[in-house]
Amino acid sequence: MNGDIPLLVIAFKTVTVLLGGLITYFAARAARKTRSTGLTYLAVGFATVTTGSMLAGVADQLFKLETASALVFENALTTAGFAIIAYSLYVTSGSSFGSR
Q: pLDDT tens for residues 29-64?
A: 999 999 999 999 999 999 999 999 999 888 888 888
pLDDT band of residue 85 (cuts 50, 70, 90) is: very high
Inter-residue contact 47 to 19 (CB < 8 Å): no
User: Any idea where the domains of the chain sit in the sequence?
Assistant: 7-92
Say whether 76 sits in a helix, a strand or coil. helix
Rg of the chain over all Cα atoms, to the nearest angstrom: 16
> Which amino acid does the sequence have at 41?
Y
First vs last Cα of the chain: how many Å apart? 53
What's the pTM?
0.82
Reported as a single tens digit per residue, the pLDDT across 91-100 is 887 655 555 4
Give residue 1's pLDDT. 46
How far apart CA 63 and CA 80 sit, in angstroms, is 23
Q: Which of 70, 75, 69, 76 is nearest to 57 (CA)?
A: 70
